[in-house]
Structure 1
């Protein structure tokens, strides 16, 4: 288990996680300074190999279930433009397109990636191997790369 900067991380009651958990709240990268906030609600369960990286904000609501090999990040190494290509990825400034918000009662399937600036509505189901690049409405099932709505539940 790797927990970077626990002072920026809040975890509610009833949390459970299996092995290889990696939660990173980056407050400094090179000369950059950040004020990260990671909030994990009540009764949240992480299976194995969950990786969360934060420089801005990641919010996970109550009763959320994450399968194995999940990646959630609110940032990337550099913006996606031609200027960034002039710098090696490891030396690019970290850049956030916005927070990741996962509301209550969400089920995230195996091997899912959730990228910056995404909001996942309550009761959503994220299918295995999905890459979530845009908001997911409440009460919907999404899947694919990039993730798209497969079914609306209500």
Structure 2
């Protein structure tokens, strides 16, 4: 029973990937509207007030996009949840965790060893800089510097950078700021 569910979900993801690849080629606001409409129709938790840039690809239907999310051009989005008011720069890759491929056995090709897709969580009001690679969750109100590689969970309210990404600074919240989840 579990195997048939996995195959069914995999088939659904394959169809979803194909349509999103096709729709990723439509330029401008009209293209973004088309991508949003399709994703909103297929994905349970997808907010209409989001922007999906040209060339952005999605690989899993188990994805959630919050209100006011901006996904820049050429992003590659795996199995994840992105909180409201979060910005993803161009070329950001959110992978479905860091265990997608097993590689323990040298006698079996890596592609045949399986792996596990994990749902990554990006908190609300985050900024992920251009070209960052995210393989772990990012806490609310955090910033990931451009080109960084996130392999461990990032706490809320910090700036991280580097490969692997490390905390550079804690962000002090302004006394008048209000963030609703």
TM interval, short-chain normalised: 0.7 to 0.9
Q: Calculate the TM-score normalised by the size of structure 1.
A: 0.78
Q: Does 1:16 align with 2:51?
A: yes
TM-score (norm: length of structure 2) = 0.67
Q: Distance in 2 between matches of 1:136 and 1:62?
A: 17
TM-superposed deviation, 1:21: 1.1
| Residues 77 and 92 in structure 1, CA contact (< 8 A), matched pair in contact too | no
Give the structure with the larger helix fraction: 2
CA apart distance, 1:80: 4.4
Q: Residue 101 of structure 1: which of 117, 121, 132 is its match?
A: 121
Q: CA RMSD in A?
A: 2.1
Mark the runs of 5 or more structure 2 residues left unpaired by the alignment.
1-19, 24-37, 173-181
Whose radius of gyration is greater, 1 or 2?
Answer: 2
CA contact (8 A) 2:52 2:72 kept: yes
SS in structure 2 at match of 1:151: strand
> How many corresponding residue pairs?
135
Structure 1: any 5+ residue segments left out of the alignment? Answer: 26-35
Equivalent residue for 1:144, pick from 162, 165, 171: 162
Secondary structure at the residue paired with 1:90?
Answer: helix
Structure 1 residue runs of 4 or more that deviate by more than 6 Å after TM superposition:
none
Deviation at 1:78, TM superposition (A): 2.4
Please report how far the alpha carbon of residue 102 of structure 1 lies from its aligned counterpart in structure 2 after TM superposition. Answer: 0.5
